[in-house]
Amino acid sequence: MLRVNATFLRWTGRPVEAVVGRRLVDLLTPGGRIFHETHYAPMLRMQGSVHEIAVDLRCGDGSRLSVLLNATLSRDEHGAEREVLVAVFDATERRRYERQLLRAHDEARGAEARAMTLARTLQQTLVPPVPPRVRGLTLAATYRPSGDGSQVGGDFYDVFPTGPDEQVVVLGDVSGKGVDAAVVTSLVRNTVRALAVLHHRPSSLLAELNDIVGTHETERFCTAVVLRMRREPDGAWRVVVAAGGHPPPLLLRPDEPAVEVDVHGPLVGILPDQEYGETELRLAPREVLVLYTDGVTEARRDGELFGEVRLHATLDRVGARDVPGLVAELEEEVVAFQSGVTGDDIAIVAVSPTPDPDPDADLGPDPETG
Amino acid sequence: MDVLARNNVTVLGPADGQPLVFAHGFGCDQSMWRHVAPAFADRYRVVTFDFVGGGGSDPAAYDPDKYATLDGYRADLLDVVRALDLRDVVLVGHSVAAMVGAMATIAEPDRFASMVMVGPSPRYVDDENYIGGFGREDIDELLTSLSSNYLGWSAAMAPAIVGNPDRPELGHELTEAFCRMDPEVARRFAEATFLSDNRDDLPRVPVPTLVLQCRDDIIAPMEVGEYVAEQLPDSTFVVLEATGHCPQLSAPVLTAEAIGTWLDGRAAA
C-alpha cells in the first residue's frame, strides 16, 4: 500500500506505519486472503477493475471490519501495471443483513425439505404400500402425486377382503389438496372399510358415506367408485359396481374396444340423502376392469386434455393380456403427455380374474393387514 | 455427450504439434491462460478448457455429487484428453489443477509425456509434521466469504441461467464476465480443493514434472512447493520472480519462458 487516507486508518485502528509499505492482502483474514488470490487479483488483472468484493479487514485491536472493495488497476503506456486504486466501504450492516438473509434462505430450504417429507409420509398412509395379493385375482395399481410431490393429493384407493373370496375395491378423489384434504381422504378410506362390514351393497355404502362426509366439519367432498367382488367356482368374479360423481370404470375384453360400465351417482358429501345406482357384471378371466381418477383424463398439455379418446386408445393398444403392463403404460402415457410434470395426482387400479388359480397356493400374509 | 462443448474446449496451433493442455484452478476459468497459452501455439497443439461449473462450460452438465471431490475434475480432464484422442501430452495445471493433473497422469500414464505444476499444493490445511498454510477454520471462513461474495450474483443471475433455456444469450453474457460461478458450485469446488489431501499421489506421478513456484505465494507457500518437488519422483523446481498465486497473470512472459525453456531442454536431451 502506497497511500491511505485518515478514514482507513481510523476504521482499521492502525497507525500509518503499520499500513503503508505492507500489502492489502496482509490485512485480510485467511479466508479473505484465499478469495483475494483466487478471485480479486485475477479479475483485477484481467478486467482492470473489480466491484463489491466482500472481505473482512483485520484491525489493530484484533477485531474485524466487514468491507466492500472496489478497485481499478492503472497501467503505463507500455501496459505495465502502475497502481491500484481501492475504494473501501464499511459493510458491517450490509453483511449482518446478508447473514440474516442467508440464514433465512437456509431455513426456508430446510422447511421445504421437511414439508416434502411430511407430504410423502402422509400420502403413503392414503394408499396401500403395495397392491395386495388376492387369490384368483390379478391386481395392479399405481398412485402418482402431482408435480414434485411436495403437496398431498386427494386421490386414494384401497383393496380389502370382506370374507373368503370376497373383496372390496374403492378408488376416489377428495376435492382439493393439502393437509385438510388428506384428513378427509383418511376419513373416507377408513369409513369405507367400516361401512363395508355393515352394508353389503356398494350403493348403500356410498349413501351412508355421503352423509358422513357431508356432516364432517370440512367443506370437502369426494368422488368414489366402489366394487364388491365375489369369486365364483369357475374362476370368474361377480362384480357389483357403484359410483358417486366418479368416471365409470372401463371394461376391457380380449380383442374388443374398452367400454364404460354404465353406473352413475351424485358426488359424495354435498347433498344429504342421496341415492346411488348399482350395476352387476361378471368378470371372466382375461377380462379387465380399470378404475382411474380424473388425473388421467384431465391431464393437460397447452390447454389440451389427455381425454377419454387417448385413454381408450391406450387401453385398446395394450389390451387385456398384461394387467400390470396396462397400468404402467397408461401412467407413462399420461405423464409423457404432460412432459413429465403432472398437474394433478393420478390413481389407477386394474383387476382381472387370474385364469385357473391354484386353490392351494400360499399367497402369504396380506402385505398391509397381515 | 459432447465433451468439447461441455468443457468449452479451445484448440490452437498445428494439428500435428505435441499437445499442450492447460488446466485452470479454483476461482477462474481458461481465460487465466490467455497471456501464456498463445505463446506456444506456433509449435504445440494448445488445448484450453473450462472445468464443468466454470467459465463457458455447460451448466446442465454440473452434477453436485460428481464434483464434490477432485475425482470429478480429474474425469473432466481425462474426458477432454480422450475426446481429442491426445497422446504424448504435456499437461500444465495451475493451483488445484496441478493435483487434478497428477491424478490424471496416474490414472492414464500412457497419455502423458510430462507435466508443469504452477503454484501446486497437495494439502492446504496444516497437519502433523506438515505446514499447508491454513487451519480448518480458515477454510470455513473462506466458504462463508464465498457465500457473501456470490450473494448478489446468486440472486440476479442464477434464475436467468436456470430458468431461460430458450434464451442462451444469458448464458453467453455470463461467459463474458471472468471468474463467474454459481455460488453452490463455487462452494463445492472450494471444499473439494481446500479440504483435499493429495500428498500420497505425489510419489506416484509417472512423468517428469516442472514445479513453478512464485515468491510470496500465500496460497501455495515456498515450503509447500519445495515439498511437492521433493515428493515427486522426477521434478525440476523453478522459482519465478513473480508475486501472488497467479504468475500466468502477474508475470505471463516469465511464466511462458520458464515453461518453454524447460520443455526445450527436455526436447534437446
DSSP A310: H
Q: Find the mean pLDDT for residues B32-49.
A: 95
- Distance in angstroms (rounded) separating the CA atoms of residues A181 and A175: 7
φ and ψ of B32, to 5 deg: -55, -30
Length of chain B: 269
Whether A42 contacts chain B with CB within 8 A: yes
Confidence of residue A246 (pLDDT cuts 50, 70, 90): very high
| Fold held by A127-353 | Phosphatase 2c; domain 1 (3.60.40)
What CATH number has the domain bearing residue B55? 3.40.50.1820
The helix or strand, by DSSP H or E, that contains position A54, with its residue range, turns out to be strand A49-58
| Fold held by A6-90 | Beta-Lactamase (3.30.450)
Q: Which of residues 210-249 of A touch B (CB under 8 A)?
A: none
pLDDT of residue B174: 39
φ and ψ of A112, to 5 deg: -60, -45
Whether A29 contacts chain B with CB within 8 A: yes
Of A31, A47, A95, nearest to B138 by CB-CB distance is: A31
Q: Find the mean pLDDT for residues A82-108.
A: 89
- Mention every residue, 6+ apart, whose C-beta is less than 8 A from residue A331: A142, A144, A346, A348
Reduce the DSSP state of residue A162 to 3 states and report it. Answer: strand
Q: Of all residues in chain A, what percent carry a pLDDT higher than 70?
A: 96
| A209-222 b/e (C-beta count within 10 Å ≥ 16 → b) | bbebbbebeeebbb
pLDDT of residue B177: 52
Q: List, for residues A153-210, the tens digit of each pLDDT value.
A: 889 999 999 998 999 999 999 988 888 888 889 999 999 999 999 999 999 999 999 9
Q: Find the mean pLDDT for residues B36-64.
A: 93
ipTM exceeds 0.95, yes or no: no
- Distance in angstroms (rounded) separating the CA atoms of residues A241 and A201: 9
- Distance in angstroms (rounded) separating the CA atoms of residues B93 and B103: 11
pLDDT at B222 exceeding the cut of 60: yes
Q: In this structure, are residues B68 and B191 in contact, taking their beta carbons and an 8 Å threshold? A: yes
Which of A173-182, B156-165, B204-213 tops mean pLDDT? B204-213
Instruction: Show the cell assigned to A34.
Output: 484465499
pLDDT of residue A94: 86
B95 among known catalytic residues: yes
Q: In this structure, are residues A57 and A11 in contact, taking their beta carbons and an 8 Å threshold? A: yes
pLDDT of residue B21: 98
Whether A284 contacts chain B with CB within 8 A: no
Q: Tell me the HSE value of B203 on the side-chain side, using a 13 A CA sphere.
A: 2
Q: Which residues of B touch A (CB under 8 A)?
A: 25-28, 31-32, 34, 95, 134-135, 138-149, 151-152, 178-179, 194, 217-219, 244-246, 249-250
From chain A, pick out residues whose CB is under 8 angstroms from the CB of B195.
none
pLDDT of residue A365: 52
The domain tally of chain B equals 1
The ranges of chain A annotated as CATH 3.30.450.20 are 6-90
Sign of the four-CA dihedral A181, A186, A190, A196? positive
Length of chain A: 370
Whether A56 contacts chain B with CB within 8 A: yes
Confidence of residue A356 (pLDDT cuts 50, 70, 90): low
Burial class, A105, CB count within 10 angstroms (exposed 0-12 / middle 13-18 / buried 19+): middle
B217 among known catalytic residues: yes
Amino acid at A43: M
Parent domain of B58: 3-268
Reduce the DSSP state of residue A97 to 3 states and report it. Answer: helix
